[in-house]
Structure 1
Amino acid sequence: MKLLILGATGRVGSEIALLAAKDGHQVNVLVRTPEKLPPELTALQVYSGDATVKEDIEQAIEGCEAVISALGTDGGTVLTDTVPLVIKAMQDRGSKRLLTIGTAGILNSRTEPDLLRYQSSESKRKLTRAAREHHEAYLAIKESSLDWTIVCPTYLPDGPITGSYRTEKDYLPLEGKQISTGDTAHFAYIQLASEEFLHSRVGIAY
């Protein structure tokens, strides 16, 4: 399969790119600073550019059957600027599968059913700017015609793949406190071959 991975210089995105390349997928990455790619990521087609620029997205996505985005909020509007460009480029080309890394803040609240976690007393974070950015991206993806899945980790320390974790559609697993970057990448990657969580957010935690 030919894939476009966004955020491949990040902690989760680089792990996803490594898994995909090891499995023999044809992997395109669009990055602002190619020198930040991990040295072991050699079997890639690297596009130097900006994910918020329409022409850069269109060049990198050409021929791709799926897109995996591990872009963060970057303290600005990178996520909400990029998501509409990706959706449009995919729809124009008939590409359907979109996987993104979100945040547990945009999962449903258990304590206040009409709210998302970041809007409710479940969230201990005082700053909500990043969650609001993820929320806006989620709404745009939800309204698209794509086959999407948003993987929503909670506290995300660096760590290896264990393959042992819990997931739940639209909610954070009960008492979930953290999940490693490796396991988040592993779960997101294997969704390429799964329809279990189509059109869903998925909480992931130990």
Structure 2
Amino acid sequence: MRLVLFGATGRVGKDVLKLALADGHEVTAFVRSAARLPQSLSGNRMLKIHQGDVLNKSDVEDVMSGGYDLVFSALSTDKSSTLSKGVPHIINAMYKHGINRFISIGTAGILQARSAPALYRFQSSESRRKSTAAAEEHLAVYKSLEKSTLDWIIFCPTYLPDGEATGNVIYELDKLPENVKKISVGNTAQFSYSQMFNDSFTRHRIGIGETE
């Protein structure tokens, strides 16, 4: 498999990168700074590095021209409009180059609220965050994908502390599983990576958390 990975230097992205390379897949990491990639991966023949800016349309189109099976985005909000402005460039480049599968890491805030299904969690009493800026950025991604014809999945973790993969993950389509409080970076990366081609997840937001 050949894939493009956006956000490869972030917490979840680094773990996804390691998993894909360990499985022998060819990964092109789209990064602003190659220096932030794990040194342990230096020299891996299955890793290609493409430096660019997701906010630059031509940079995104250039990386997509290599012929890929899948695009994986672990981009963060960067406390800016990176997602809402950058992901449309990715979607358009995927159309142009005939790539149909898009996997993204989102946030539990954009799942439907269990207590008020007409609302997103970040709009409801289920969210304790004072700022909605990050959730609104992720919501823009969801709405862009929903309007697209791509086969997409958005994995939506709740509170995301550092930690290794343990496998004790529970999930629910479009809602956050009940009584979950957190999910580690390792579990988020491993679960989303392992479920990239789960057709029952296609065109859904997947709420994920850990069992106690």
3-state secondary structure, aligned to 1:9: coil
| Equivalent residues of 1:91, 1:145 under 8 A apart | no
Letter in structure 2 aligned against 1:6: F
Give 1:175 deviation, angstroms.
Answer: 0.8
1:174 aligns with one of 171, 178, 185: 178
| Equivalent residues of 2:9, 2:31 under 8 A apart | yes
3-state secondary structure, aligned to 1:17: helix
Letter in structure 2 aligned against 1:163: G
Give 1:122 deviation, angstroms.
Answer: 0.6
Question: Which whole-Å CA distance do the structure 2 matches of 1:147 and 1:99 have between them?
Answer: 9
Question: Which whole-Å CA distance do the structure 2 matches of 1:75 and 1:36 have between them?
Answer: 19
**RMSD of aligned residue pairs (Cα, Å):** 0.9
Question: Which whole-Å CA distance do the structure 1 matches of 2:24 and 2:199 have between them?
Answer: 21
Q: TM-score scaled by structure 2?
A: 0.95
3-state secondary structure, aligned to 1:156: coil
Residue 196 of structure 1: aligned partner:
200
Residue 108 of structure 1: aligned partner:
112
Question: Which whole-Å CA distance do the structure 1 matches of 2:197 and 2:83 have between them?
Answer: 25
What is the CA deviation profile of residues 73-95 of structure 1, one whole-angstrom value per residue up to 9, with x for unaligned ones? 10100111111011011111111
Give 1:54 deviation, angstroms.
Answer: 1.1
Give 1:173 deviation, angstroms.
Answer: 0.6
| Equivalent residues of 1:170, 1:201 under 8 A apart | yes
Question: Which whole-Å CA distance do the structure 2 matches of 1:191 and 1:89 have between them?
Answer: 23
What is the CA deviation profile of residues 94-136 of structure 1, one whole-angstrom value per residue up to 9, with x for unaligned ones? 1111000000000000111110000001101111011011111
User: Which stretch of structure 1 is more off in the superposition, 19-28 or 53-62?
Assistant: 53-62
Letter in structure 2 aligned against 1:30: F
2:54 is equivalent to residue 34 of structure 1 = no
| Equivalent residues of 1:31, 1:46 under 8 A apart | yes
Give 1:55 deviation, angstroms.
Answer: 1.3
2:63 aligns with one of 60, 64, 68: 60
Q: How many residues align?
A: 206
Residue 133 of structure 1: aligned partner:
137
| Equivalent residues of 1:6, 1:13 under 8 A apart | yes
Letter in structure 2 aligned against 1:107: L
Structure 1: where are the runs of 5+ without partners? none
Letter in structure 1 aligned against 2:34: P
Question: Which whole-Å CA distance do the structure 2 matches of 1:65 and 1:193 have between them?
Answer: 11
Give 1:196 deviation, angstroms.
Answer: 2.1
3-state secondary structure, aligned to 2:102: strand
3-state secondary structure, aligned to 1:100: strand
Structure 2: where are the runs of 5+ without partners? none
| Equivalent residues of 1:32, 1:48 under 8 A apart | yes
Question: Which whole-Å CA distance do the structure 2 matches of 1:163 and 1:196 have between them?
Answer: 20
Question: Which whole-Å CA distance do the structure 1 matches of 2:116 and 2:14 have between them?
Answer: 35
| Equivalent residues of 1:17, 1:41 under 8 A apart | no
2:151 is equivalent to residue 147 of structure 1 = yes
What is the CA deviation profile of residues 145-200 of structure 1, one whole-angstrom value per residue up to 9, with x for unaligned ones? 10000000000000111111101100111011000000100111112232120000
What is the CA deviation profile of residues 1-36 of structure 1, one whole-angstrom value per residue up to 9, with x for unaligned ones? 110000000000010011001111110011111000
Q: TM-score scaled by structure 1?
A: 0.98
| Equivalent residues of 1:176, 1:205 under 8 A apart | yes
Question: Which whole-Å CA distance do the structure 2 matches of 1:20 and 1:61 have between them?
Answer: 18
